[in-house]
Amino acid sequence: MTTSASDVTVESVVRRVAAGHRDQRGALLPVLHAVQAELGHVPHEAIPVLADEFNLSRADVHGVVTFYHDFRREPAGRTTVRICRAEACQALGADGLVTYAREAGLTLGETTADGAVTVEQVFCLGNCALGPAVEVNGRLYGRVGPARLGSILDGTVSS
């Protein structure tokens, strides 16, 4: 493990969070969520520390982080857009939202170079009756078409 300031910070955060869950069975998931809540993502440097804290292999921890789509391995943009791609939203026009995002220069699964926007695809936001659904910075929107998505991103539309 390196000793850069950022690594020390990641290590100290992970160890502090893990310490609060030591007596809890199956604590890896809640600790990962807590680390991500505090750091904005689960950095690669956290994996060996988590493995040490929970007596797991690095491969085991890495497998959990990469299996669950809610864990980010890189910092998200200042605005996070999650487009539902589940069947109900697809049937109601989610592909149009993806096309709009691409035409606006946004790539699914990536953050813009300036760190402004991260666009993710998810497979159900639990708003099927009001699809297509989009979540922007944790706020859920229903019946979103391309024009409304543009307005939401511009900050000109409320829920």
Q: In 3D, which of 117, 120, 111, 134 has the Cα closest to residue 69?
A: 120
This prediction has a pTM of 0.77
The C-alpha atoms of residue 22 and residue 100 are separated, in whole angstroms, by: 46
In a domain, 98, yes or no: yes
86 shares a domain with 58: no
Q: Are residues 36 and 88 in the same domain?
A: no
Structural domain of residue 146, as residue ranges? Answer: 79-154
Judge if 129 and 83 occupy the same domain: yes
Last residue of a domain, one of 23, 42, 67: 67
C-alpha torsion sign, points 56, 22, 53, 58: positive
- Kindly tell me the sign of the dihedral angle through the C-alpha atoms of 101, 104, 110, 115: negative
- Can you give the pLDDT at residue 7? 58
Query: Same domain, yes or no, for 57 and 89?
Result: no
Q: List the chain pLDDT tens, one digit each, 159 residues.
A: 444 555 559 999 999 999 999 889 999 999 999 999 999 999 999 999 999 999 999 999 999 999 998 899 999 999 999 999 999 999 999 999 999 999 999 999 999 999 999 999 999 999 999 999 999 999 999 999 999 999 998 885 555
* pLDDT score at 157: 57
Would you state the pLDDT for residue 72? Answer: 93
How many angstroms separate the Cα of 14 from the Cα of each of 6, 17, 62, 107?
12, 5, 15, 31
Instruction: Return the CATH number at 148.
Output: 3.40.30.10
pLDDT at 23: 87
Residues 53 and 17 in one domain: yes
Please report whether residue 159 resides in a domain.
no
The position carrying tokens 């955060």 is: 13
d(C-alpha 60, C-alpha 52), whole Å: 11
* 51, 100: one domain: no
Same domain, 63 and 114: no
Residue 72 in any domain: the answer is: no
Structural contact between residues 8 and 45, judged by C-beta atoms closer than 8 angstroms: no
pLDDT score at 118: 94
Number of domains in the chain: 2
* 3-class DSSP state of 114: coil
